[in-house]
Amino acid sequence: MTDYEVEQYFIKKIENLGAPLIESKFLGGKVSYTNIKYENKSFTRPANGYWFELYYDTNPPVQAVGGSAGRNLWSGYFQINICVPKDSGKKAAMKRYEKIFEEFPIGFVGNNFPGLRILSVGRAPMQYYDDFSLLPMSIIFEAYLER
């Protein structure tokens, strides 16, 4: 398992939430998610005003196991900004937060991602902007990854 695979694990979990939270359409023979803003990719806000912003970051790895088959301990976070129309109220954002929260239980992820452990899932206070509101949600993790 690599750092990139960990990032893709989190992204795929969000994409697989499906309707009504995640909207998609087929473009050029593949699925395009229309209400997910990916890091460093162009994005157009959906007309209904509901979307998710995804960010992934890690700390520098620490050598955890020596030798040629050694692994490094990585820690980091996956941030999901839950964006809703300005006048939709906090309830709309919290409903989305609770659904995502259920998808990321604390503990080891499982056989497909050995060594990946979710340490905490939480949120910060709601942020209000001119034309939308944002609820930041963070998933803190650690993983033993190949060098």
Determine the structural domain holding residue 18 and report its residue range.
3-146
Check residue 107 and give left, alpha or beta (phi > 0: left; psi -120 to 50: alpha): left
- pTM for this structure? 0.90
Per-residue pLDDT in tens (0 to 9) along the chain, 147 residues: 788 889 999 999 999 998 888 998 888 888 889 999 999 999 999 999 999 999 999 988 887 666 666 778 889 999 999 999 988 888 999 999 999 999 999 999 877 777 899 999 999 999 999 999 999 999 999 998 877
CATH of the domain at 104: 3.30.2000.20
> What is the per-residue pLDDT for 69?
67
Half-sphere exposure of 143 (CA within 13 A, CB side): 29
Spatial distance between the Cα atoms of 147 and 145, rounded to a whole number of angstroms: 6
Number of domains comprising the chain: 1
